[in-house]
Amino acid sequence: MADPPGCCHPCATCLLCLYSCHWVTPKKRKGLKTSKCDCSWFLFLFCVFLFTLVWLYFAIIILNDFHNFNEFIFKQRKLWLDWSLVLLIATATLITYSAVLLVLALCLQLCGQPLKLHWLHKILLILTALVVAAAFTGLGIKWAEEWRSARISLQATGPFLHIGIVGGMTLLAWPLASFIYRTRNKGLKVFLLLVYCAVMIALYLAPLGITSPCIMEENQLPPKPALVGHRGAPMLAPENTLMSLYKAVDCDVQVFETDVMVSADGVPFLMHDEELTRTTNVEAVFPERAALNSTAFNWTDLQQLDAGSWFLERRPFPTVQSLSAGDRYQVTEQRIPSLEQALEAAKQNNISIMFDLRPENHSDYQSFVNATLKVILRSGIPLQQVLWLPDGFREEVKQRAPGVQQIYGRKRLQNEKEPLLHVNLPYQDMSSEEIRQYRQDNISVNLYVVNQPWLFSVLWCAGVSSVTTNACQVLKEMKHPIWLLPSSTYLMIWIVVDCASLLVILWAFLLLKKCSQRRRAAESETDVLLTKINSLMQE
């Protein structure tokens, strides 16, 4: 197979060498042709690339919730590692490998070279597909809510994904046109053209189905959601400590969200996990009792524990590396705070405090509620600054402390006896339409846990009242959603992108048609010359 004009022999040889994993000289290359099996492997390569690209998108999206996965692994294996780095490195390796192979194949096609994929590449591609399939399967089994996160993400990325996909499919017109003008199989030509045209038409019309709350006029943008510090400011200080509360205050949060447990001697204190192993040095101080429930320790024992050093040792967030020397020293001084201390700090800094009371299934849960209410009423904090999340014994709480704000972890019911004023839900559980409806009905909606600016932007445009976040220092700096497009501007972008794509595709087919005609003319002249030479030699 002769090299087309503009494709030098060394380049063609190098491309084929990388793709086929062996050196092929120009003489040997003339006898090589792309078989149906080779075409099948190219199609498989293209599908693996797309499959891996979709997984890369999912990997980026689930970074918002990856700290939960790290905590889950620690509870199961007692091993702390930032698994998001492992995920990103592995995904980047797979996508880079399949992308390089695909680019090589497309370049070989443009150069008119045979697609002889080496058996080693075939095995690695199969392994890549299996690894990505296993990742998707694991995501569906253990972390199914992330599928809803992906749907929400399309509201933030949909318009830009559309432009990117249209651009990629437009560039694909060059190798496709090259293949169509080279092959002599008319049936295959018609099939490929029909498929390509159908895909492009679908892409050109895709914006009809793209919706986003951020496609709106500037004057329609709702106020910026208030920030709720998830266990304080856990990226800047150890979670559920007074330092974390003060860091959250510096981030302008309006609510400190925490978790409360009650010690064996009836003192409510701040702690999320049922065990103390993740966020204290209980294994060093009380090794024989380390696996016990947090509520099995009395307050004197709890005060002996270091609740900060783990933060520097395990580095649950990359931001730990940027802490100042003063902050690092302060971290090592942290102890488990009591609810009374947290209420006093919230009162002094004029912020609200919202908490869950754990564990809900404890046999002494009513006594936990009583002890917690006693501390709240004794603290002197204005009751409207206390946001009560637990469902257990809620009616009793309403009677004893009627000023406490009741926060519900569910959506409103059709036959609601009392109107809900505040709801607290995972961000996956409410659509943009529901958020708007609740806002119109004066129901405050807080969604958790929102860490990434793209997600905060979508919820901001939808009109959510507040968000619970680990990254208060990041969201504090956002003065505007990442993007906001009037519908007229988006319509103009849509039309311009589609028209530009169509012109480039037509140009690619027309240009490669001329090149094909020139090549055939050159091949015809060569055949005539060879015929004359044969005739002369025979004479």
pLDDT at residue 355 in the model:
97
Average pLDDT score over residue span 276-301: 96
Q: Is residue 135 part of a domain?
A: no
- CA Rg, the chain, in Å? 31
Buried b (16+ CB within 10 A) or exposed e, 391-401: eebeeebeeee
Average pLDDT score over residue span 251-272: 97
pLDDT above 70 coverage of the chain, percent: 91
Asked if the model's pLDDT at residue 6 lies above 50, the reply is: no
Spatial CA neighbour of 489 closest among 154, 159, 203: 159
Q: Is residue 134 part of a domain?
A: no
- Taking 3-state DSSP, the helix, strand and coil percentages for the chain, each rounded to the nearest 5, stand at 60, 10, 30
Grouping H, G, I as helix, E, B as strand and the rest as coil, residue 435 is helix
Asked if the model's pLDDT at residue 37 lies above 80, the reply is: yes
pLDDT at residue 181 in the model:
86
> Do 452 and 340 belong to one domain?
yes
Mean pLDDT (the chain) is 91
Q: Is residue 46 part of a domain?
A: yes
Q: Specify the length of the chain in residues.
A: 539
pLDDT at residue 25 in the model:
52
Q: Is residue 266 part of a domain?
A: yes
Q: What is the count of structural domains for the chain?
A: 3
Q: Which of 430, 449, 477 is the last residue of a domain?
A: 477
pLDDT above 90 coverage of the chain, percent: 76
pLDDT at residue 2 in the model:
43
> Do 397 and 518 belong to one domain?
no
Q: Residues 457-468: pLDDT tens digits?
A: 999 999 999 999
> Do 261 and 383 belong to one domain?
yes
Supply the DSSP string of 389-406, one letter for each residue. ---TTHHHHHHH-TTSEE
The amino acid occupying position 449 is V
The residues, any chain, with a CB within 8 Å of residue 39's CB and separated by 6 or more, are 115
> Do 241 and 203 belong to one domain?
no
CATH number at residue 397: 3.20.20.190
Judged by average pLDDT, the poorest of 16-30, 256-270, 304-318, 339-353 is 16-30
> Do 311 and 357 belong to one domain?
yes
Query: pLDDT confidence of 469, banded at 50, 70, 90?
Result: very high
Q: Is residue 522 part of a domain?
A: yes
Q: Is residue 419 part of a domain?
A: yes
Supply the DSSP string of 91-150, one letter for each residue. HHHHHHHHHHHHHHHHHHHHTT------HHHHHHHHHHHHHHHHHHHHHHHH-THHHHHH
Q: Is residue 526 part of a domain?
A: yes
The amino acid occupying position 338 is S
165 near 204, Cβ under 8 Å? no
Domain hosting 420: range is: 227-477
The residues, any chain, with a CB within 8 Å of residue 504's CB and separated by 6 or more, are 170, 173
pLDDT at residue 520 in the model:
66
240 near 271, Cβ under 8 Å? yes
C-alpha 112/C-alpha 196 separation (Å) is: 21
C-alpha count within 13 angstroms, C-beta hemisphere, residue 112:
19
Q: Is residue 93 part of a domain?
A: yes
469 near 457, Cβ under 8 Å? no
Query: pLDDT confidence of 352, banded at 50, 70, 90?
Result: very high
Q: Comparing 360 with 28, which gets the higher pLDDT?
A: 360
> Do 277 and 421 belong to one domain?
yes
Q: Which of 94, 117, 140 is the last residue of a domain?
A: 117
Query: pLDDT confidence of 368, banded at 50, 70, 90?
Result: very high
Helix axes 83-110, 173-182, angle to 10 degrees: 40
Q: Which of 477, 498, 524 is the last residue of a domain?
A: 477
> Do 176 and 259 belong to one domain?
no
Provide the β-strand partners of residue 356.
Answer: 259
> Do 491 and 462 belong to one domain?
no
C-alpha 482/C-alpha 473 separation (Å) is: 16
C-alpha 58/C-alpha 40 separation (Å) is: 27
> Do 83 and 160 belong to one domain?
no
> Do 231 and 198 belong to one domain?
no
Q: Residues 87-125: pLDDT tens digits?
A: 999 999 999 999 999 988 888 877 777 788 889 999 999
How many angstroms separate the Cα of 249 from the Cα of each of 129, 228, 229, 375, 467? 47, 10, 9, 22, 15
Asked if the model's pLDDT at residue 4 lies above 60, the reply is: no
Q: Residues 157-183: pLDDT tens digits?
A: 999 999 999 999 999 999 899 888 888
pLDDT at residue 19 in the model:
80
The amino acid occupying position 281 is N
Asked if the model's pLDDT at residue 194 lies above 70, the reply is: yes
> Do 508 and 407 belong to one domain?
no
> Do 336 and 447 belong to one domain?
yes
The residues, any chain, with a CB within 8 Å of residue 65's CB and separated by 6 or more, are 143, 146, 149, 449, 451
Query: pLDDT confidence of 523, banded at 50, 70, 90?
Result: low
Provide the β-strand partners of residue 388.
Answer: 355, 406
C-alpha 189/C-alpha 187 separation (Å) is: 5
348 near 358, Cβ under 8 Å? no
